Amino acid sequence: MSNQTNADLLLTAEENQALLDTWGIIAKDLKGYGSKYFIYFFKQYPHYQLQFKSFAKVPLEELTENRRFKAHAFTLMSALNGFIENLDDVEMLDELLLKTGENHAKRKLAQEDFVVRF
Protein backbone atom coordinates (compact mmCIF):
# COMPACT_ATOMS: atom_id res chain seq x y z
CA MET A 1 0.00 0.00 0.00
CA SER A 2 1.26 3.50 -0.82
CA ASN A 3 2.30 6.05 1.80
CA GLN A 4 0.41 8.72 -0.06
CA THR A 5 -2.97 9.70 1.30
CA ASN A 6 -6.30 10.56 -0.25
CA ALA A 7 -5.34 14.22 0.15
CA ASP A 8 -2.99 13.66 -2.79
CA LEU A 9 -6.05 12.96 -4.91
CA LEU A 10 -7.82 16.07 -3.65
CA LEU A 11 -10.57 13.96 -2.16
CA THR A 12 -11.73 14.68 1.35
CA ALA A 13 -12.15 11.74 3.71
CA GLU A 14 -15.92 12.21 3.36
CA GLU A 15 -15.77 12.17 -0.44
CA ASN A 16 -13.58 9.10 -0.38
CA GLN A 17 -16.00 7.32 1.94
CA ALA A 18 -19.00 8.39 -0.15
CA LEU A 19 -17.33 6.90 -3.24
CA LEU A 20 -16.59 3.65 -1.45
CA ASP A 21 -20.12 3.42 -0.06
CA THR A 22 -21.93 4.13 -3.32
CA TRP A 23 -19.59 1.97 -5.38
CA GLY A 24 -20.16 -0.84 -2.88
CA ILE A 25 -23.76 -1.03 -4.12
CA ILE A 26 -22.71 -1.11 -7.79
CA ALA A 27 -19.88 -3.59 -7.21
CA LYS A 28 -22.45 -6.23 -6.19
CA ASP A 29 -23.67 -6.40 -9.78
CA LEU A 30 -21.05 -5.08 -12.21
CA LYS A 31 -22.62 -6.89 -15.17
CA GLY A 32 -26.15 -5.63 -14.56
CA TYR A 33 -25.19 -2.04 -13.78
CA GLY A 34 -22.64 -2.03 -16.63
CA SER A 35 -25.28 -2.89 -19.23
CA LYS A 36 -27.80 -0.42 -17.76
CA TYR A 37 -25.17 2.33 -17.69
CA PHE A 38 -24.15 1.79 -21.32
CA ILE A 39 -27.71 1.76 -22.60
CA TYR A 40 -28.37 5.01 -20.75
CA PHE A 41 -25.08 6.43 -22.12
CA PHE A 42 -25.95 5.51 -25.72
CA LYS A 43 -29.46 6.93 -25.34
CA GLN A 44 -27.99 10.24 -24.22
CA TYR A 45 -25.09 10.25 -26.69
CA PRO A 46 -26.06 8.06 -29.69
CA HIS A 47 -22.94 9.03 -31.66
CA TYR A 48 -20.73 7.24 -29.13
CA GLN A 49 -22.29 3.88 -29.98
CA LEU A 50 -20.80 4.22 -33.46
CA GLN A 51 -17.30 4.03 -31.93
CA PHE A 52 -17.97 0.42 -30.93
CA LYS A 53 -17.55 -1.47 -34.20
CA SER A 54 -18.88 -4.80 -32.93
CA PHE A 55 -22.25 -3.40 -31.84
CA ALA A 56 -22.40 0.03 -33.49
CA LYS A 57 -25.58 -0.70 -35.40
CA VAL A 58 -27.36 -3.00 -32.94
CA PRO A 59 -30.69 -1.44 -31.83
CA LEU A 60 -30.65 -0.38 -28.16
CA GLU A 61 -33.42 -2.81 -27.22
CA GLU A 62 -31.30 -5.72 -28.51
CA LEU A 63 -28.05 -4.73 -26.81
CA THR A 64 -28.68 -6.53 -23.54
CA GLU A 65 -28.67 -9.81 -25.51
CA ASN A 66 -25.48 -8.98 -27.42
CA ARG A 67 -22.50 -10.87 -25.95
CA ARG A 68 -19.88 -8.39 -27.22
CA PHE A 69 -21.84 -5.54 -25.68
CA LYS A 70 -22.23 -7.34 -22.37
CA ALA A 71 -18.53 -8.20 -22.28
CA HIS A 72 -17.52 -4.63 -23.02
CA ALA A 73 -19.87 -3.24 -20.37
CA PHE A 74 -18.34 -5.62 -17.83
CA THR A 75 -14.79 -4.71 -18.92
CA LEU A 76 -15.44 -1.02 -18.38
CA MET A 77 -17.04 -1.64 -14.99
CA SER A 78 -14.06 -3.80 -13.98
CA ALA A 79 -11.72 -0.96 -14.92
CA LEU A 80 -13.76 1.47 -12.80
CA ASN A 81 -13.72 -1.06 -10.00
CA GLY A 82 -9.92 -1.15 -10.24
CA PHE A 83 -9.76 2.63 -9.90
CA ILE A 84 -11.97 2.61 -6.82
CA GLU A 85 -10.05 -0.24 -5.22
CA ASN A 86 -6.89 1.79 -5.60
CA LEU A 87 -8.04 5.12 -4.23
CA ASP A 88 -5.53 4.56 -1.43
CA ASP A 89 -2.64 3.67 -3.77
CA VAL A 90 -1.91 6.77 -5.78
CA GLU A 91 0.91 5.26 -7.80
CA MET A 92 -1.23 2.34 -8.98
CA LEU A 93 -4.24 4.58 -9.61
CA ASP A 94 -2.10 6.98 -11.63
CA GLU A 95 -0.80 4.14 -13.80
CA LEU A 96 -4.26 2.63 -14.34
CA LEU A 97 -5.68 6.00 -15.39
CA LEU A 98 -2.71 6.71 -17.65
CA LYS A 99 -3.06 3.34 -19.36
CA THR A 100 -6.78 3.87 -19.89
CA GLY A 101 -6.11 7.32 -21.34
CA GLU A 102 -3.37 6.04 -23.65
CA ASN A 103 -5.55 3.18 -24.90
CA HIS A 104 -8.39 5.56 -25.68
CA ALA A 105 -6.14 8.17 -27.29
CA LYS A 106 -5.05 5.44 -29.74
CA ARG A 107 -8.71 5.14 -30.69
CA LYS A 108 -8.79 8.86 -31.46
CA LEU A 109 -10.91 9.59 -28.42
CA ALA A 110 -10.15 12.95 -26.85
CA GLN A 111 -10.17 14.28 -23.31
CA GLU A 112 -13.52 15.96 -23.88
CA ASP A 113 -15.07 12.58 -24.72
CA PHE A 114 -14.53 11.71 -21.07
CA VAL A 115 -16.28 14.86 -19.87
CA VAL A 116 -19.85 13.87 -20.55
CA ARG A 117 -22.57 15.27 -18.34
CA PHE A 118 -25.56 13.40 -17.01
Provide the binding-site residues for ligand HEM, judged by CB under 6 A: 48, 51-54, 72, 75-76, 79-80, 100, 103-104, 107, 109, 113-114
Alpha-carbon gap, residue 2 to 87, rounded angstroms: 10
In the complex with ligand HEM, the residue whose CB is nearer, 91 or 113, is 113
Q: Smallest gap, in angstroms, from Cβ of residue 48 to ligand HEM?
A: 4
In the complex with ligand HEM, the residue whose CB is nearer, 70 or 72, is 72
**Residue whose Cβ sits closest to ligand HEM:** 103
**Tally of CB atoms within 10 A around 24:** 10
Alpha-carbon gap, residue 30 to 28, rounded angstroms: 6
CA angle 87, 18, 9 (to 5 degrees): 35
Q: Smallest gap, in angstroms, from Cβ of residue 68 to ligand HEM?
A: 8
